Chains A and B, each alone.
Chain A
Amino acid sequence: MSLYALCFILFSIGLYCLLVKRNLVKKIIGLGIAEYAVNLFFILLGFKENAEAPILDKYTASQNFVDPLPQALILTSIVIGLGVTAVMVAISVRIYEKYRTFDIREIRRLKG
């Protein structure tokens, strides 16, 4: 129970950093942290006490495994996070090239 709460605290730190910080790169970092928190939450849900990793082995025929389904989902979610980060960095590099600053408030002022 407390682990889920810690996970939510991490997510809210990411959300807070996103809402308050004006620097584009800080927003990307905030989103990255929120992304990590959501992935962690899924795997925390799938963990089973003293069970093994979901890899079958030729020699030990044990069936006591952790839940493999959230792991398959989170593999997709990690790569989604990478894709979105790449697009965001591309946009912020182009914005820096045009406005010479990463600060949202100045961008809005320059935009007029």
Chain B
Amino acid sequence: MRQESGMTLIVKRITRITVSLIFLFGIYIVLHGHLTPGGGFAGGVIIALSFIHLVLAFGKKVALKRISEATISAFESIGGVFFWSIALGGLLFSGVYFLNFLPKGEAFSLFSAGTIVFCNIAIFLKVGAGLFAIFVALAFLRMPDDPKEGGKAA
């Protein structure tokens, strides 16, 4: 079988399973940010790691087919604008920047902390996409004497 880029066959088989597990774990951390430890930041970094895991195992071309670079920076800006609008939403609703204007819900259920949940999701979008963009930009800057497969610089 032609040895395309990325690591050996065993690694690829295992990554197919672990990537989805890591992704699921990251989503769990983000959504339960206000109940259990972790939150937008930790979840975002975990999601970025699951993508990086994919890229390391399968090489650049396979992974980037699924997520093209344009969507990464688009995701990141969307996260930024979303978070910025939540902050501004507080301003519009009641004239106070950053007010927690959504109903609080009852204590320990999932939708219980008003804007905190949406802030978490906004940060998750921003952190995840941003860090993966850093990795793609750094990893595929070709060093002249690098033996690895080509690929243009980001």
Contacts and interface: CB of A to CB of B under 8 A. Distances in A.
A and B in contact, CB less than 8 Å: yes
B92 interface: no
B72 to A, nearest CB: 15
Interface in B84-135: 107-108, 127, 131, 134
Contacts of A82: 131
Chain A: interface secondary structure? helix
A58 interface: yes
A18 B37 CA distance: 34
Contacts of A90: 137-138
Interface residues of A, number: 13
Nearest to B39: A75
Interface residues of B, number: 13
Contact of B107 (A58, A86, A89, A94): A58
A75 B138 CA distance: 24
Nearest to A75: B41
Contacts of A93: 138, 141, 143
20 contacts: A53-B37, A55-B36, A55-B37, A58-B107, A58-B108, A75-B41, A79-B41, A79-B127, A82-B131, A86-B134, A86-B138, A89-B138, A90-B137, A90-B138, A93-B138, A93-B141, A93-B143, A94-B141, A97-B141, A97-B143
Interface of B: 36-37, 41, 107-108, 127, 131, 134, 137-138, 141, 143-144
